[in-house]
Amino acid sequence: MNDYERVARIIRHLDEHHGEQPSLEMLAAKAGLGTFHFHRLFRRWAGVTPKDFLQCLTLAHARERLRRGESVLGSALDAGLSSPGRLHDLCLTLEAATPGEIKSGGAGWTIELGFARTPFGLCCLGNNPRGLCHLQFVEAGERTSAEQPVKLDWPHAALRWNDAAAKKTAAQIFQPGGPAGGGFRAHVRATAFQLRVWRALVAIPPGALVSYGHLASAVGKPSAARAVGNAVGANPLAFLIPCHRVIRETGVVGNYRWGHDRKLLIIGWEGAQFPAKNLPGSPTSPGIARAA
């Protein structure tokens, strides 16, 4: 069992039994580790103690981040950060495939695929000649099943496996403090509406959360929350396009394409790495107005 699986088991237990306030000893036993080893593992993975991590998953905490996140998103979009250029601190250029590229199905291209370990489990990454086109969490290192979504998007492209390149990219994306080595270029199949939603998602900073309804309003479609939800769910780049930062208006985390438990883990991890006091819109960041 790897670190992700151990911590995932504990976070699932905390989510189900948070009212019981389980002790460190009980959590260590649940993980099958000694108390000292478990505490050290958890701090290394999350950057905080299990008790502090639980705070990041509470309903009150989620509602506070919703309030701050809505303010942040509106300000970011007003500033033009949903344009194809620089998007918050990630420096991600997100471009859609042209109709001609979609029609050709990637003919003449070689897409490099690879597996990499992350704090949230195994992922599969893919790069086409224009940029990163695929990033999804997978449950096992089975190449046949992992490459199927790529084949559906680019049926005429050649596929070449390169785990070393995937591990290098993953090391830049998945690290405490957020992705490093900006300048990521992503090239995805998308409708104009999907692209608009995904660019808005990238404008949500780590540690903030927004509701589906507010996201719909932010992209100019206040009555299309369901359509926005579908676009969020169709995201081809897990974590990098942060669809995990969208939750229900009530503060309930809701579903996630790659698993509810994994969404809880990512939200809790980001909440620990980016505390509310460091979010734009907090009292220490007066440049962005707070939500009413």
Active site residues: 243
End-to-end Cα separation, the chain, in angstroms:
46
Give CB contacts under 8 A, 24+ apart, made by 240-243.
240/90, 240/92, 240/132, 240/135, 240/173, 240/179, 240/184, 240/186, 241/94, 241/186, 241/198, 241/201, 241/202, 242/201, 242/202, 242/204, 242/206, 243/201
How many residues are there in the chain? 292
CA angle 218, 283, 251 (to 5 degrees): 50
Residue at 277: amino acid letter: K
Strand-pair category, 121-128 with 110-118? antiparallel
Helix axes 35-46, 24-31, angle to 10 degrees: 90
